Structure 1
Amino acid sequence: MRLNLILSLSLLACLTFSLAKDQRRPLARGRRRGVGPRRARKQTSNELQQGRTAESNGQDGSIFIESHKSTKEAKPDYEVASGKTEHCIFRGITMYDKTVWSPKPCVNCLCASGEVVCDRILCPALRCQLKFQPIGECCPICIDPVVDAPEFSGDPPSPNDLGDPFIEISQSQRDQKERLKKDEEKRIRKKDAERKQRKKQKKEEAERQKKLKEAKEAREKEEELRRLREEEEEKAAAEERKRRMEEQRKVEEDRTRRLEMEQREMMRALEEAAERAQEGLRGDEATEDEDEVWLRGDVFQMPTVAPTRAADPPLLSIQEPTEPGEEEHELGEQGEEEPEVVEEESERVTTLLPPGCSISDVIVTCENAKLTGIPPLSIPELKSLSLPGNEIKTIPAGAFNGIPNLEWIDLGKNKIVSSGIDPQAFKGLKFLSRLYMDGNLLEQIPSELPSTLQELKINENNLKEIEENSFEGLRSLVTLEMEGNLLSEGNVNPQAFKPLEELTYLRMGRNHFRTIPQGLPASLLELYLENNLIEDISETAFNHTTNINVIVLRHNKLDESSIAPLAWINHRNLESIDLSHNKFYLVPSFLPKSLVHLVLVGNQIERIPGYVFAHMEPGLEYLYLSFNKLDGDAIEPESFFGTFNSMTELCLDHNQLTSIPMGVNEMTTLHFLRLNNNKIRHISEDAICDPMNVDDSHLVAVRLENNFLDPRKIPPTAFSCVRSYSSVVLKPQRIK
């Protein structure tokens, strides 16, 4: 009995082992032959087809759910195992009847009466814009606020739609949907809030821009009002200056007439005194042997000579003379006390001048008379003393005691040294207005000069230094000339010009300046610095000279890169600049807005940049570019932009131009045009005169000689805007 039981159990075990081996054999055989996943899936698909076929013919024990026969989903990649009644074997695992398991995600299997039935979960079609598939779930879900009812596209309803308990959405999925819905609502609310915030910010920005615009308009309006006020003030100041100049001119005319009358009266008195003296000499035989005459104890003496009379020259001084009342009073007193002495003194003045000297009206001239000192004259009425070209070396303290009313002294071309001038030499001259000391040997500015001095010339000396107090007390000085000396920025004290409150005219050419001198007075109107070594103009060079009108810098070492952009562009009164004979290759930019007269002769200019004159108001009138290197490509269409309504005189002669420059025919106010000594070969009909311009002729003179023109080929209307054809110079030309 026991033996039979053991044999039965052994047989059962062998049968079970055999069945399990049969189930594993296809997989093992596929592995031995190197079948990959793709081949395994193909085998699984074949097995599924065999299972379905078996279902239809009843030869296989496995079945497939009837409702999934026509499903068009992708073929599952699982295995369908056949087994015996009441239990199933799946991949070597024994499953009891009605057992449900999930071998893969979204795949459910059922053991039904010994057959394994598996199927994939079908997902409903969703009508929503935003879809989301939770982790671990088979189907996506909608995350829109409203979820539409699922619809299917032609496929039969699956067991999921029929309430299959194995594919119902779990409570966690519903919770997750609720959370997603809430998150989406929060996101929408946040988006609405951000949109409102952006709208609010945009509105605030618009209001801010509006306020800024209003503020800008207010500032512009205020600036315009300020500019108008300044223009009115300038206009009023100009009218006031004009009125004062007119009054001064009238005063000077009256003064000149008064001086002429006084001079005529004085000359008449001197002539009468001379005649009486000659008569007295002829009638008195006792004085025939006398050969010397002494002048009231003065050291200077000379023999009697016949009086000489020169033609009346024009007046050389317009300074205010001594009041007529005072002169008449002094003369009256002298006349009452010593009338005969006055006559004798007048006689001696006219007859006892040094050799080579002459007197005319109130002027004594001793030019090239070989004088070695100041002549000891005693003529209180004398106004002018001219002593140029002598050998004077010193000026003692009392040199001018006998001529205290001098207004003009010319000591040029002598041998005066600084140590030879006594500090008190000029102190007693209360009316001195002009002092010329050109061509001497001075090393310093003379000290103790009269405060009435208006004009001081110390050209061609050896000035080596200008100290802080060199011009002390010269508040009335208007003109100062120091050309041809040894001055530089290193030996001129910046505070030296501070006392010169009325200085308007300054010449310091032919010195050794490398930069513009510092400390120039604010009253300066004209500055001449030609023939120096200037190679740089800084932004602060003319900061204090805001009223300057003329700057001359010819024969220096300047180029277009050595002038700072803000050096003079904002000067409102700077009208004339002379930059001739420097090192410019281009017409410099950043020229003054008020510029009227520009001289660039003798440079190496090859091009006139476009719009270089466009910023000028009212516009450039005189442009001189002679003796440069302008050729056919030097002038652009915009080069003369800004000068079409202002240009009066244009000089482009002695260049290399091959045609008439563009823009000349648009200059409606052009009077003089110089294009001679170029390489011009032809002139078009509208190159100089615009045929569309019906206004009156404006050109006065045109010069085109020494070019390569054939006068016979020039169009007849080429010079139609020239007032007279005789003022067009075409000969000679360089062609035969």
Structure 2
Amino acid sequence: MQAPSLLCYFLLLSLCTELCPAAGGAGRRQRRRRRMMMMHRGLRRNPRAPGMELLGRSIPLINIDDSVMGVFDSLVGLGEHESTYSVLPGKKGQCTANGMIMFDKAVWSPKPCVTCLCSKGEVICDTAMCHPLKCPQTIIPAGECCPVCSETASSLDSSIISLDDISEMSGDSPDPKDLNTTSVLPSSPTQMEKHELLPTEVTEIRDKDSHKKGKRKRKGKKHRQRHKGRRREKLPVPRTVAAGDEQYESDEDDDGAFRIPSHFPIPVPPIEAPPLPSGCSTSDTTVSCINAKLTQIPPISDPDLTSLDLTGNSITTISDEAFNGIPNLEWIDLSKNNITSPGIGPKAFKILKKLKRLYLDGNMLVLIPSELPSTLEEIKINDNQLHAIDEDGLKGLKNLVTLELEGNKLSEANVSPLAFYPLKSLSYLRLGRNKFRIIPQGLPATLEELYLEHNQIEEVSEICFNHTRNINIIGLKHNKLEEHRIAPLAWINQENLESIDLSYNKLYHVPSYLPKSLLHLVLIGNQIERIPGYVFGHMRPGLEYLYLSFNKLTDDGIDPVSFFGAYHSLRELFLDHNELKAVPFGIDEMRKLRFLRLNNNKIRTVPPERICRTQTNHEDEQDHSEEENEDSHLEHVHLENNYINTRQLSPHSFSCIRSYCSVVLKPQKTK
């Protein structure tokens, strides 16, 4: 059994000895040939032909009898290099070229712009075809087979880019000494002309066109840089693929040409907007050009921009096209410029379908701009020269929540009673520093806050707030109101009105018929001499903040029942800068009082019972008093700038105050 086994082993060994050297040599030569091809021709493996090592375009080969024999991968940019690899003789389908034996499917370039193929024993050569050019002067750049328009010739057509200009622009040019740059190759027939030719002529043209498309040279780095501005992105181009053709898509890293039909027009990409002016900065979706000395809105093209701040420049006009490049703005600040009403185009803001906030403070507007987007939620046109608002001035602003028109020339004479009617969502309205003598008519029912400071208002009629049942705050400081010019039914029945500021008017008494829902009453800087009794008695849940600083209150002006209805609710009481000679009665009853100001009066002493309740002789009353004292909330008491002798103060004057640091007694005035 061992003899036959040994015999088989020696036979196999001898067979391997004869075959392996040849196979090994062939393998080494095959690998060396592949390396030489890659080194000299800068080629990569074609994913569509895994059995071949050459990269290029698949081109149909046409035999003499017009039959398709096969497909080979064409080469790009061979120059005058001949094949440098050797081919083993005796292979079927080999070719002989220039004294060399080429194996089947071998490709070489005998001269510039010519590519040859060995196909089953036949040599098929192809000359690169060039696209016709429409320019006065043409040149053949170094490293190219086809001419291009000269730099000194006319520029490209404004709407069409030629095929050569959009072909592949990446890669380095071959050495100029390896290229033929003396002749211009003939151009290929047009598509129309092909239909008029004989079948055999069409076959030849198809063969040439196919090889031409596969032979298009890579353009050099200089050419690529010249077109870099136009080559931001590649647009997909539809085309009809003929039978036997294959489509290729260009890629940044591909060595192949960007293949596109010559008859298909390519639109020029839009011109990029110039960079932002000096003094401007950008962050995420915001552009800020504050105090940048601009005279016009900068040409910006960025659909992602949502905020634009142009405060403090010298802009005078806003054209209809000013925001065309930034249609998604949500906030624009054009404050402190020189914009005039005639300088704003009628449709300047119409394109901004997402605009929510528009600030135009400190300009020279006489009218509210027209055609404002209905998406606006906030408008500020303070400190301009607005002198009228007609019934269409705020038309379409159904989503507007905040409107500020302070520092203008508005009055009841030039503001239509229907001006605010379109504002179905308005809750915050500022009309301060205008020329109103009465509360404007036609206020929206949704209004919650109204500010009319620094006007000339003399009267609050009983119909002013009939339709504003949600109003919460009214600011009327620095006007000319007197208490008898406030109608008894002006606001007493308001259920949501919590704050009224009547500072710096012409009031001599705390007004009666105040809203029953009032929590916050500011009467600073009037000429108030007295607080009528029970003036706060109808309020529910009760007044919490009462500011009477800088008035003319005297001891006789405060009755024992002046604070009736507010004892259980007052938290802050300001009576400073008046003419009081004693601490008013009733303060010791205010169990929720936290902050008391009596400074800058004429007070000489603080009896123990005026701020903190004194203890009585009855035990039950004493216990009740101590319990209430423990519950006192007083945290700050100001008594400075009076005539108090601090050494004579009773130790029980501030016994309900937890910390003596909260009592301010110094300095005091002396005669």
For normalisation by structure 2, the TM-score amounts to: 0.58
More helix by share: 1
Among 408, 411, 416, which residue is 1:485 paired with?
A: 408
| CA distance in structure 1 between the partners assigned to 2:235 and 2:575 by the alignment | 67
Among 706, 709, 723, which residue is 2:641 paired with?
A: 706
1:374 aligns with 2:297: yes
2:610 match: secondary structure: coil
Could you say if the C-alpha distance between residues 383 and 713 of structure 1 is closer, same or farther in structure 2, counting changes exceeding 3 Å?
same
The answer for the alignment partner of 2:586 in structure 1 is: 663
1:715 aligns with 2:650: yes
| CA distance in structure 1 between the partners assigned to 2:333 and 2:495 by the alignment | 37
1:285 Cα deviation (Å)? 11
Among 627, 631, 635, which residue is 1:694 paired with?
A: 627
Larger-gyration structure (1/2): 1
1:724 Cα deviation (Å)? 1.2
The answer for the alignment partner of 2:239 in structure 1 is: none
1:637 match: secondary structure: coil
Among 493, 502, 513, which residue is 1:570 paired with?
A: 493
Among 439, 444, 451, which residue is 1:528 paired with?
A: 451
1:495 aligns with 2:418: yes
* Structure 2 portions without partners, runs of 5+: 1-219, 237-248, 254-268, 615-624
Contact in 1 for aligned 2:595/2:636 (Cα 8 Å): yes
1:732 aligns with 2:655: no
| CA distance in structure 1 between the partners assigned to 2:532 and 2:235 by the alignment | 74
Could you say if the C-alpha distance between residues 717 and 525 of structure 1 is closer, same or farther in structure 2, counting changes exceeding 3 Å?
same
2:576 match: secondary structure: coil
| CA distance in structure 1 between the partners assigned to 2:499 and 2:350 by the alignment | 38
Cα-to-partner distance string for 1:642-663 (whole Å, 9 max, x where unaligned): 0010000000000010011111
| CA distance in structure 1 between the partners assigned to 2:250 and 2:460 by the alignment | 67
What are the equivalent positions in structure 2 for 1:137-152 lying under 5 Å apart? Answer: none
What are the equivalent positions in structure 2 for 1:354-365 lying under 5 Å apart? Answer: 354-365=277-288
Among 515, 520, 525, which residue is 1:597 paired with?
A: 520
The answer for the alignment partner of 1:623 in structure 2 is: 546
1:561 match: secondary structure: helix
Could you say if the C-alpha distance between residues 295 and 407 of structure 1 is closer, same or farther in structure 2, counting changes exceeding 3 Å?
farther
| CA distance in structure 2 between the partners assigned to 1:626 and 1:364 by the alignment | 46
Cα-to-partner distance string for 1:50-85 (whole Å, 9 max, x where unaligned): xxxxxxxxxxxxxxxxxxxxxxxxxxxxxxxxxxxx
1:633 match: secondary structure: helix
What are the equivalent positions in structure 2 for 1:127-142 lying under 5 Å apart? Answer: none
Could you say if the C-alpha distance between residues 645 and 294 of structure 1 is closer, same or farther in structure 2, counting changes exceeding 3 Å?
farther
AA at the equivalent of 2:640: E
1:723 Cα deviation (Å)? 2.4
| CA distance in structure 2 between the partners assigned to 1:662 and 1:635 by the alignment | 8
| CA distance in structure 2 between the partners assigned to 1:296 and 1:593 by the alignment | 72
AA at the equivalent of 1:413: K
AA at the equivalent of 2:556: D
What are the equivalent positions in structure 2 for 1:355-434 lying under 5 Å apart? Answer: 355-434=278-357
Q: Which has the higher contact order (CA 8 A, sep 6+)?
A: 2
1:610 aligns with 2:533: yes
Cα-to-partner distance string for 1:221-240 (whole Å, 9 max, x where unaligned): xxxxxxxxxxxxxxxxxxxx
| CA distance in structure 2 between the partners assigned to 1:400 and 1:419 by the alignment | 18
For normalisation by structure 1, the TM-score amounts to: 0.53
What are the equivalent positions in structure 2 for 1:484-563 lying under 5 Å apart? Answer: 484-563=407-486
Cα-to-partner distance string for 1:136-163 (whole Å, 9 max, x where unaligned): xxxxxxxxxxxxxxxxxxxxxxxxxxxx
The answer for the alignment partner of 2:506 in structure 1 is: 583
AA at the equivalent of 2:383: E
1:697 Cα deviation (Å)? 3.0
AA at the equivalent of 1:613: F
Contact in 1 for aligned 2:291/2:312 (Cα 8 Å): yes
What are the equivalent positions in structure 2 for 1:261-410 lying under 5 Å apart? Answer: 352-410=275-333
Identity within the alignment, %: 63
Runs of 4 or more off by more than 2 Å in structure 1? 284-287, 293-297, 330-333, 336-340
Across the two proteins, how many residue pairs are aligned to each other?
A: 411
| CA distance in structure 1 between the partners assigned to 2:344 and 2:564 by the alignment | 58
1:339 Cα deviation (Å)? 9.7
| CA distance in structure 1 between the partners assigned to 2:231 and 2:366 by the alignment | 37
Could you say if the C-alpha distance between residues 631 and 360 of structure 1 is closer, same or farther in structure 2, counting changes exceeding 3 Å?
same
| CA distance in structure 1 between the partners assigned to 2:460 and 2:538 by the alignment | 21
Could you say if the C-alpha distance between residues 544 and 286 of structure 1 is closer, same or farther in structure 2, counting changes exceeding 3 Å?
same
1:694 Cα deviation (Å)? 1.6
1:362 Cα deviation (Å)? 1.0
AA at the equivalent of 1:703: H
